[in-house]
Amino acid sequence: MESIGTETHGLRTVAGVTDGLHRTTTMTPQDTTDDGTDDETDGTGRTNRPKTRRRDFLAATGAGVGAFGLAGCVGNLGGPGGGGGGGGGGDGPIKVGHLAPVQLDMGKGSMRSARLAVEEINSNGGIMDRDVELVEGDTQASPSQASNLVNEMVNQDNVSMISGTFASEVTLGILDRVGNTGVPLLDTGSASPRITQEYPAQDYETFKNVFRVGPVNSNFQADLLADYGKFLSDTHGWNSFAVVVEDAEWTKPMTQRTGQRMEAEHGLEVTMTQRIAPDTSDFAPVLDSIANSGADAHIKAISHITGTAMLSSWGSNDYPFGEEGINVASMSPQYWGDTNGGCLYETTSETGAAGVAPITEKTVPFAKQYEEKHAESRPTAPMYMGFGTYDAMYVYKNAVEAAGTANYQENLDTIVAELEGTDYTGTSGLPGGTVARGRIGR
């Protein structure tokens, strides 16, 4: 069911080849054929038990509901055309949007996971007996590109929800517009705590329609990296660490919290803390500095930086410290080949590249289904974003069915209440696979 139509500024092309805005529409299973190929751009449980109010949780922790940016024209706040089924109204298909940088393994895995979920939902009656249509957009990791795409999704495609995104910079760059549209947003890729602390926590009424399904926000990731340092100390006797991360929005907590927690909570030595530009290509000076600091290990957090290049420089120069931490590139099953086996002695905190554990009863079946469908084309596993995106489709399905409507233009508060009240255990378990008031996106 990967046959698609492609739109570029409203013009339809063929064979899935896109240019311009890279916006594609995946039709329902009844309208598609499955030839096993990829295009170029390339349930459930709820509880209504009392919980802490979402706005209070957000204000207290900055860690609750995540926010994904959705662009919309301020002059068209009522949404797309009356009577045409826009915003989830009418009797036609319910359109859901997905945004990601699909030239990256992470974005492509998420896109494919969204397709799998939509295919399954349609094969089981759709949402409220209506087919679901997936509208895809390639953000190219650009805030301006994403802004243009979501503006079209809301005002031309009439989507009822958007999921996905990846870079926190992209998400933050389009957040102001999402509050003006009201369309439900389920972020499945961005980790910056600012997304919650500076938007729904401070202006709940405007941003109540934005949610984070995953990943765990980077305040938590920063603390876990510090605790991992303690594990390395206990296991290997490594007691000194260089915290060197990419200069990106999501890594700010690593600079602010990881080293401090290592020293204060675990009695470890932090030899240096540094942020490096995402466009760095020569890593020798950075790695030299780490070696000169006397660190036993490098604790990193990289996503925008090409992880293979850093690892190659580390391995070929026999630096006397371990490479540890978060390297998003290593989540791909193809990472071993990408590094020619150089990642043998790199340890990273990742998901999915080497297989999955049965975190919930849904984890392994979903991963196997994905892998069977994409065994010949990278990425051959969903990546972390894929798990979240797959779950997000079902979270949305459950919420609007409980609300009895997908029309957010007229029933936003009802839909938001159901999203906040959802308790859904998905493929990735807690917290990434469960959405609930006070827990969503943490």
CA distance 8 to 23: 6
Taking residue 387's Cβ as centre, other Cβ atoms within 10 Å add up to 33
Examine residue 22 and state whether it is found in any structural domain, yes or no.
Answer: no
Q: Is 98 helix (H, G, I), strand (E, B) or coil?
A: strand
335 and 274 share one domain: yes
154 and 238 share one domain: no
- pLDDT at 106 (0 to 100): 94
389 and 294 share one domain: no
106 and 184 share one domain: yes
- pLDDT at 8 (0 to 100): 28
CA distance 241 to 257: 14
Give me the residues of the chain with pLDDT under 50, please: 1-52, 57, 59-85, 431-442
CATH number, residue 254:
3.40.50.2300
Q: H or E segment at 399? A: helix 383-403
- How many Å is the Cα radius of gyration of the chain? 21
230 and 269 share one domain: yes
C-alpha closest to that of 32 among 53, 52, 4: 4
Q: What percent of the chain has pLDDT above 90?
A: 58
The tokens describing 95, both together, are 């359109």
231 and 175 share one domain: no
210 and 222 share one domain: no
- pLDDT at 430 (0 to 100): 54
Instruction: Tally helices (H) and strands (E) across the chain.
Output: 16, 15
Amino acid identity, position 85: G
- pLDDT at 353 (0 to 100): 65
Cα–Cα separations (whole angstroms), residue 408 to 1, 68, 204, 411: 28, 16, 17, 5
C-alpha closest to that of 100 among 49, 41, 181, 182: 41
Burial call 161-171: b when 16+ CB within 10 Å, e when fewer: bbbbbbbbbbb
CA distance 40 to 341: 28
In terms of residue numbers, what domain contains 100? 94-215+363-421
Helices 383-403 and 105-123: crossing angle in degrees, nearest 10, is: 30
Q: What is the 3-state secondary structure (H, E, C) of 312-336?
A: HHHHHCCCCCEEEEEEHHHHCCCHH
Q: How many domains would you assign to the chain?
A: 2
C-alpha closest to that of 371 among 182, 140, 113: 113
343 and 236 share one domain: yes
Examine residue 27 and state whether it is found in any structural domain, yes or no.
Answer: no
Q: Looking at 178-268, which runs of residues are DSSP E strands?
A: 185-187, 210-212, 240-246
pTM as predicted: 0.81
How do residues 175-219 score in pLDDT, each as one tens digit?
Answer: 888 888 988 999 999 999 998 788 998 999 999 988 999 898 999
How do residues 408-428 score in pLDDT, each as one tens digit?
Answer: 999 999 999 999 998 888 998
134 and 153 share one domain: yes
Helices 408-421 and 383-403: crossing angle in degrees, nearest 10, is: 110
387 and 307 share one domain: no
224 and 340 share one domain: yes
Cα–Cα separations (whole angstroms), residue 283 to 194, 278, 280, 318, 412: 29, 11, 7, 13, 49
CA distance 286 to 310: 9
The DSSP call for residue 93 is P
